Amino acid sequence: MNTVEEIRADVAPSIPNLSALDASALDSSNVHYYARSFGDPMARLFWREDRLWLGIVPPHGRAFSEIADLPVVNELTEDRLLVGLRGPAQSHPGFDAAYPLASTPRIIYWHEWSPKMLRAAALRLITLLERLAQYGLTLRNPHPWNLLYDGLNFVYMNPGSIVPMDVETFTRSYEKISRFFIRPLLLIENGMTHLAQRLVADPRDGVPAEDTKRLRRDWATWDPKSEAKQIPLLLDRLAMKVSCLNLSPEGGRWIDYFATDCDFSSGSSWSRKQEVLERLLEDKEIHSILDLGANTGHYGRVAAERGCEVIAADFDPVLVDAIFEESRNRGLSLYPATLDFSHPTPAQGVNGAWFPSAGQRFESDLVLCFALSHHMVFGKYRLDFEQVARGVRSFSRRWALVEYVERGKIRPKEWRPDADPWYTADHFADALRRHFPAVTVLAPAKDGRRLLVCGPERRLA
């Protein structure tokens, strides 16, 4: 039984008594949808407590149950190309059936992925489409909000988007693939990473064809007049070409920072940070870490190796690429993200509810803010200590480790004359105390840098 038709003919639906399930009208005041999935007429993702659920919109419950029983769906779930369902169908107002998903990764939106993350996501999606095409199936909604990084791989999170293949459905789907994967990757290959990130952040339009007229590639075009048998050939060609795109710009200023500038000898600020981090991780209530300004992710990996859920974020996509590749090479579960501390991803949609802010999604038990605050105070950012403290606190549930860099380490050309009276460790601690119940200023390392331990109680005095 390999096709939808065979399943429909020979296998009874796996959901019993669908008609008995509550299919009353949906009430958005009682349903917190994930992203803009409320616009999908067939299958919607929504939150129940802290877990994502799949709701099947009437009258599609029986059709979904038939597709969910196909052997290929189980194979794709085992291969982590497709999220699994946890348990049988349950009743939920407004749906034919509702299922808790087997896992709910941290939400890192597609416009927060680095270039190599975007390519990896595209290749996973293409592989999923190729496997489905073998059984006469495709995805109705291959939008990147349905593709989440689980710390090791990209996983498609909406099994309700699987539908029988036809050229018209594939043509509509392929336009989304082009707008959110292929065209952004072409922009990146041509040195326009910043433009690609800004355009692709539009959840409705992505990158329209007219924005990449000069970058068109024959291998990336699909003729809607083609026959369905041409679809596997297109997907195979697409995978090969996407794999070969050059997404590696010359290394930026900070790419070799840990290799060339960091001294991990005894008593140095770098070894001190690792020692203090490891001592804090002895607290069994610290499960999640956000490493702000992570560079290539050294301290985030230290935490991940100790079993913590880690988000390693940096403003530079080149650095996030390095975090992504190194963690995957090590088989280490970790969430890379492109994030500018001075301008974190804001909430979007009606009442900011469709796409929650980075502060909501990245909130963690412990925030690391190493070698970052002085860059926010000086240079182009020109924040003050109060703004830095508020920013750190906005991501922290309980704890934060914040580094203070003494004046002698600031580049003279970046120094602000107005900072003379207030740029001190004590003033920084005072600002942090307005947001954390307890702040401990640790003794300076041999290079003069100091750590401030912020939390619900005094620790590591």
Residue 217: what pLDDT?
Answer: 83
Q: Distances from the Cα of 407 to the Cαs of 275, 403, 447, in angstroms?
A: 24, 13, 12
Q: Cβ of 62: how many Cβ atoms within 10 Å?
A: 16
Residues 6+ apart with CB under 8 A from 380: none
Report the chain's mean pLDDT, rounded to a whole number: 90
Q: Are 182 and 245 in contact (CB under 8 A)?
A: no
Residue 18: what pLDDT?
Answer: 37
**Least confident stretch, 55-64, 154-163, 262-271, 327-336:** 262-271
Residue 23: what pLDDT?
Answer: 40
Instruction: Give CATH 1.10.510 domain extents, the chain.
Output: 110-244
The CA distance from 56 to 62, in Å, is 9
The CA distance from 239 to 131, in Å, is 13
> Which residue from 341, 280, 330 is spatially nearest to 308, judged by alpha carbons?
280
Residue 9: what pLDDT?
Answer: 34
Type of residue numbered 10: D
The CA distance from 452 to 439, in Å, is 6
Query: Which pTM value belongs to this model?
Result: 0.91
Whether the predicted pLDDT of 70 surpasses 60? yes
Instruction: Give CATH 3.40.50.150 domain extents, the chain.
Output: 257-455
Residue 4: what pLDDT?
Answer: 44
Whether the predicted pLDDT of 449 surpasses 90? yes
Three-state secondary structure readout of the chain: CCCHHHHHHHCCCCCCCHHHCCCCCCCCCCCEECCCHHHCCCEEEEEECCEEEEEECCCCHHHHHHHHCCHHHHHHHHCCCECCECCCCECCCCCCEEEEECCCCCCCCHHHCCHHHHHHHHHHHHHHHHHHHCCCEEECCCCHHHEEECCCCEEECCHHHEEECCHHHHHHHHHHHHHHHHHHHHHHHCCCHHHHHHHHCCCCCCCCHHHHHHHCCHHHCCCCCCCHHHHHHHHHHHHHHHHHCCCCCCCCCCCCHHHHCCCCCCCCHHHHHHHHHHHHCCCCCCCEEEEECCCCCHHHHHHHHCCCEEEEEECCHHHHHHHHHHHHHCCCCCEEEECCCCCCCCCECHHHCCECCHHHHCCEEEEEECCCHHHHHCCCCCCCHHHHHHHHHHHEEEEEEEEECCHHHCCHHHCCHHHCCCCCHHHHHHHHHCCCCEEEECCCCCCCCEEEEEECCCCCC
Mean pLDDT confidence for 262-285:
87
CATH code, 257-455: 3.40.50.150
Residues 6+ apart with CB under 8 A from 284: none
Q: How confident is the model at residue 13 (pLDDT cuts 50, 70, 90)?
A: very low
pLDDT above 70 covers what percent of the chain? 90
Select the more confidently predicted residue: 109 or 258: 109
Whether the predicted pLDDT of 102 surpasses 60? yes
Q: How confident is the model at residue 218 (pLDDT cuts 50, 70, 90)?
A: confident
Rg of the chain in Å (alpha carbons): 24
Tens of pLDDT, residue by residue over 300-331, are 999 999 999 999 999 999 999 999 999 999 99
**In 358-373, which positions are buried (b, 16+ CB within 10 angstroms) versus exposed (e)?**
bbebbbbbbbbbbbbb
Residue 254: what pLDDT?
Answer: 59
Q: How confident is the model at residue 24 (pLDDT cuts 50, 70, 90)?
A: very low
Residues 6+ apart with CB under 8 A from 95: 21, 23, 26, 44, 55, 56, 57, 58, 61
Tens of pLDDT, residue by residue over 382-393, are 999 999 999 999
CATH code, 110-244: 1.10.510
Mean pLDDT confidence for 52-80:
96
Mean pLDDT confidence for 124-138:
97
Residue 20: what pLDDT?
Answer: 37
Q: How confident is the model at residue 185 (pLDDT cuts 50, 70, 90)?
A: very high
Mean pLDDT confidence for 78-92:
94
Tens of pLDDT, residue by residue over 227-252, are 999 999 999 999 999 999 999 876 56
Residue 27 tokens read as: 């009430």
- Residue 218 CA to its chain's centroid (Å): 30
